Amino acid sequence: MEVQKESSMIKQKQMLAEHFMELSQVRETGRKVVYTFVPGNLAEFVSTFDMLPVYPEINALQSGMRKKSEEYIREAEDIGYSEDVCSYVKCDIGMMLQGNIGPTGQRLPAPDILLLSYTGCFVFMKWFENLRHLYPNTEIAMLHVPYQEAGRIEPAAVKYVKDQLIKSVIPKFEKVSGQKFDIDKLGRKLELAAQAENLLVDIFDSARHRPSPIDAYFGGVYYIGPIFTAFRGNEDCIDYYRELKAEVDYRVAKKLGPITPEGHLENERFRLVVEGPPNWTHFRDFWKMFYDRGAVFVGSSYTRVGGVYDDGFRHSSKDPLASLAEYCMGCYTNRSLPQRISLLERFIKNNHADGLLVNSIKSCNSFSAGQLVMMRDLEARLGIPVGFIETDLVDPRYYSFSNIKNRLDSFFQMLEQRQSIWIGDDSLSDDVLA
C-alpha cells in the first residue's frame, strides 16, 4: 500500500536531503560541523557562523525507523554499554563505530566542535564524554542551563547562561569557524525564527477544531522537524510552515481529519493527549493502533521537547543572547513536574480531550521520571480516563505488540464507557470547541 503524504512532508524530505548533501561535501566546501542536541539547540547561533549542525538523537531515531537501530545497539553493548543506557546513545555510538553512515546513506563528517546545551537530560553530558573519546581532537563547548526549580525563569539564570555564551561558547566558535561573531546577523535569524514559531503555534492550536485537522503526536513529529533542527532561523523554515498551515487550513475548512499513512482519518471518535516520546522502531504500526480506532492526538508533550511556544515565548532580536538563554531554559525537559502537569492540563482542557495516555520509555529517564505522578494528578484533577503503556525509543527488544494492545484495549473501553453518557449532547458537534 502506498503511504499517503502531504506536500509539506515531501518538502521537508527535500530540505533534509539537501542538508545531508551539504554535510557530505564539507571537505570540498570547507564548512565546519557542529554536533549538538535538539532540546535547547542553538540553530540560529550555529548558522550565524555558517556552520552545519548534526543531531545525534535524530540520527538514532532515523535508524530506528529504518530498522537499523538494533544492530547498532548490539554493537555498543558488545563494547561494554549497559542494557539500561539510553538507546539513543547506544544506537548513535554503534552507528559511528560502523562508519557513521547517516539516514540518507552518506557518511557523516566528524565534528569540528561539540556543543552541549544541557537542558534537563543528564545523559547528554555522558553522551558527549563518549563522543569526545571517539573524536579526541575535537573542540567542546558546554552551555549549562539551570533547571526551573521555582517553576519560572529567573533573571539571574538568564544572565548566567548569557555570560557563558559570551565568555566561553562564542570564543570557541570564533576559533573553530574562523569568523567573528555577528550579533546583528543572529538577531535577523531570530526574527525569522519567531515567524516560524508563530506559524507552528497556529498549526498546533488547530487541534481545537472537531474534527481535528492534525494529529499532534504522530503527525506532530513531522511538524516539529524543521523548527527543532537545522532550519530554524532561515526562510526555508518559514516557507515550510506556511505550506503546512495552508494544508491544515484547508482541512479545517473542509472538516477533514488529519492525514495518516492510509489517508484522511474519516471518523474521529476519541480525542487524546499523550505524555512521552513515540516508539520509532514500529512507528507506523504504533500509529495504526490509534487511527484504526478513530483516535487522534490533540496534544503532545513530546512535540515541545525542542522548545515550548505555548506560553508565548518567541525568539527575539531585542537581546539575542538573552533570548537564546530563555529558549533553552523553557524546553520541556528543563521544566518541573508541576509545570509539565500544567501544560498537559492546558492541552486537555483547551482541546477538549477525552483522555490522557502516558507512553513510558524504558531507557529515557528524562521523560519517564514522574510520569505516574503526573498521570494520577491529572486523573484526580480532571476526572478523565488515563492509560499507561511502555515502549522504548529505538530498541525493538522492548516493543511488545501484545502488551501494548492489551493495555490500549482497556484504555479504549474506559473511553467508550465514558463517551456513551455524552451521546446526544449537541455541544460536541461544534466545529470549534469552546
> Looking at residue 434, what is its pLDDT?
40
CA atoms within 13 A on the CB side of 379: 14
DSSP bridge pairs for 139: 113
Measured CA to CA, the distance from residue 89 to residue 96 in angstroms comes to 11
What is the CATH class of 7-180?
alpha beta
Number of neighbouring beta carbons within 10 Å of residue 143 = 21
Question: Is the pTM value of this prediction over 0.85?
Answer: yes
User: SS3 of 407, please?
Assistant: helix
Residue recorded with cell 546545551:
117
- Of 40, 42, 59, 16, the residue nearest 233 (C-alpha): 42
Alpha helices in 165-298 (DSSP H): 170-177, 183-205, 220-223, 235-254, 283-291
The residue extents of the domains of the chain are: 7-180
Residues of the chain with pLDDT under 50: 424-429, 434
Q: Which three cell numbers stand for residue 160?
A: 548566567
CA dihedral (249, 431, 221, 197) positive or negative: positive
Max Cα separation, the chain?
68
Using a 10 angstrom Cβ sphere, with 0-12 exposed, 13-18 middle and 19 or more buried, the burial of residue 219 is: buried
Coil, strand or helix at 102: coil
Whole-angstrom distance, CA of residue 158 vs CA of residue 246: 36
> Chain centroid to CA 107: how far?
24
Using CA atoms, how far residue 20 sits from 14, 17, 83, 102, in Å, is 10, 5, 30, 8
- Rounded Cα gap, residues 17 and 264, in angstroms: 27
Compute the residue count for the chain: 434
pLDDT of residue 364: 86
Residue 60 grid coordinates: 538514532
Is the CB of residue 429 less than 8 Å from the CB of residue 210?
yes
